[in-house]
Structure 1
C-alpha cells in the first residue's frame, strides 16, 4: 500500500527562514509542497522519510532566497496491483460503488465488477447483491459506511496541470470548469467484492 519513492526537487528557502536549521527548513518546505498531494505517475504523497543528498545552494540575482537541489525519499500511497485493501462504502451510483479507506477516497468499483447478479436500487440509491440461499433469493444492500474488502486491478493518473486558454473567453471558461472536475489519481476496475455485509464467501473485488 505504501512505497518509499526516491525523488529530487529544487527547494527554495526564503530569507525569513534563514534563522532556523537548514535541514529543518528543507523538511518543512518539502512537506508543505508535497504532503497530501498527488504526483503524476507516482501516487499520493504522505510524508518525508529522509534526505539523501543536498547539493550546493545558490542565491540568484534579484531573489534573496536560497535554491538547493535536494535528493530525498518520500512515503507514497500507491497500492500494488492485486493487493487486497479494506475500506468503507462512501456512496453508490449507477456508475458503481465509491469506496474510502480514510486517507484516500477516489476508489471506484464499477458496475461490471459487482458480484453477479447485482442491481442498482433507484429508490434506496444503493447496490444490492441478489444472494442465493436455500430459502430463495435475498437482496444484500451495500449500505453507506459498510466495511468492504476489494482487490486493486487498475489505476488511472490524470495530468491536472492547468492549460492555457485557446482563444475565446467561453472556451477557456469551459476548459477551466472541466479541469476542476478532474481527479488526479483514481483506483478503479476492482475485480469483485469480498466480505460484503458479513457474507463469508471470498468474492474479491
Structure 2
C-alpha cells in the first residue's frame, strides 16, 4: 500500500530562487509540483521526505533558470490486486458504496458486498440494506475489503473492492461471525 520510493527527475530552479539554499529550494519545488500527483509506476506521491542527490546545474540558452537532475525519497501510495484493506464508508449510492483507503476512495459495487442483494433504504437516506438479512451499511461504518482491481495511470486511480469472503465485510459482521464460532 505505502512504499518508500526513490524518484529521479530534472528540477528547474528559477533565477529568483538563486542564493537560497539549493536543497531547500529543490524540496520546496518538488513538493509543490509532485505531492498528490499520480504516476503510473509509483502510484500517488503522498509526501517528499528528502533530497538524496543534486547534480550541478545546467543552463539552457534563452532561459535564465538552472536545471538540476535530482533524486529524492518519497512516500507513495500504490494499491495492489488481492490486497486486504480496511477503511471507512464515506458515501453510499444506489450502485454500492465508497470506502476511504489510505489517501483515496475505493468502490464496492452492490454485487460485491455480500451474497445477498443490497439496495438503498426507502426509509433512511444514505443507507444500504440487505434484502434477506436486513443488515445495513451507512457512512461512518468500518469495513474490511479485498482489492479486486486497481488501475493507476497518470491521471487517476480507480480501485474496486469486494467484501465477499471469509474475514471481509463490516467490522460488526466479522465480530458476529467470530462470536458464533
TM-score band, normalised by the shorter chain? 0.7 to 0.9
Give me the whole-angstrom Cα distance separating, in 2, the residues matched to 1:127 and 1:98. 12
Task: Provide the residue aligned with 2:157 in structure 1.
Answer: 185
* Structure-1 residue corresponding to 2:26: 26
What is the root-mean-square deviation in Å for CA atoms of aligned residues? 2.2
Q: Residue in 2 aligned with 1:96? A: 96
Please give the alpha-carbon distance, in whole angstroms, between the structure 2 residues aligned to 1:128 and 1:5. Answer: 42
Q: Distance in 2 between matches of 1:112 and 1:41?
A: 30
Q: Paired residue for 1:151, among 146, 153, 175? A: 146
Q: Which residue of 1 is the match for residue 120 of structure 2?
A: 121
Does the residue aligned with 1:139 lie in a helix, a strand or coil?
coil
Measure, in 2, the Cα distance between the counterparts of 1:81 and 1:102: 15
Aligned pairs for 1:99-114 within 5 A: 99-101=99-101, 103-104=103-104, 106-114=105-113
Report deviation, 1:28. 0.7
Name the CA distance, whole Å, in 2 between partners of 1:87 and 1:198.
13
2: CA distance between counterparts of 1:3 and 1:110? 27
The whole-number CA distance in structure 2 between the counterparts of 1:191 and 1:156 is: 19
In 2, the alpha carbon distance for the partners of 1:37 and 1:192 equals 32
TM-score of the pair, normalised by structure 2: 0.82
So what's the TM-score if we normalise by structure 1? 0.74
Unaligned ranges ≥5, structure 2: none
Check whether the contact 2:45–2:76 (CA below 8 A) recurs between aligned residues.
yes
**Pairwise CA distance, 1:53:** 2.3
**Any unmatched runs of 5+ in structure 1?**
131-136, 161-183
CA distance in 2, matches of 1:97, 1:56: 50
SS at match of 1:138: coil
Using a 3 Å threshold, how does the CA distance of structure 1 residues 189 and 47 change in structure 2: closer, same or farther? same
Following superposition, which runs of at least 4 residues in structure 1 exceed 3 angstroms of deviation? Answer: none
Q: 1:35 to 1:159 in 2, by over 3 A?
A: closer
